[in-house]
Amino acid sequence: MDNLKQELKEKIIENLNLEDMNVADIDDNDVLFGDGLGLDSIDALELIVMLDKDYGIKIADPKKGKSIFESINTMAKFISENRN
């Protein structure tokens, strides 16, 4: 699980062009949207594409995205339970 969390942080920084951040800046419990990392709605769509492309997980109900993308911890948990 720790490897997955590390990988997610690297992918988020690369895919969302967070050039002014590094892995150590993101805590496993940090809120990703709003006041946390400050991600926006386009970033949310990009994360949905990332789950599909890199982990083969399609999010059929976008409403679930809010809880899935709450933090690195919630993302990692969701991926490990649903990846193909």
Partner 1 sequence: MNKKLYIQSYCKIANNEVVLNDVVVLKTELSDDKSFFKSIYNFLNLKYPKFFKMDGLSKLTYLASELILKDIEIKDRNIAIVFSNSASSLETDRKYQKSINDSASYFPSPSVFVYTLPNIGIGEVSIRHQLKSENAFFVFEKFNAKFNYFYESNLMHTKKATNVLGGWTNLDGQVAEAFVYLLSENGKLEFTIENLNKLYKK
Phi, psi dihedrals of residue 33, rounded to the nearest 5°: -105, 170
Binding site for partner 1 (CB under 8 A): 16-20, 38, 42-43, 45-46, 49, 52-53
User: Smallest gap, in angstroms, from Cβ of residue 19 to partner 1?
Assistant: 4
Least separation in angstroms between CB 17 and partner 1: 5
φ/ψ of 43, rounded to 5, equals -60, -40
Among candidates 28, 20, 41, which has minimal Cα distance to 2? 28
Write down the least CB distance from residue 46 to partner 1, Å: 5
Question: Are the C-beta atoms of residues 26 and 37 closer than 8 Å to each other?
Answer: yes
User: Of 2 and 19, which has the nearer Cβ to partner 1?
Assistant: 19
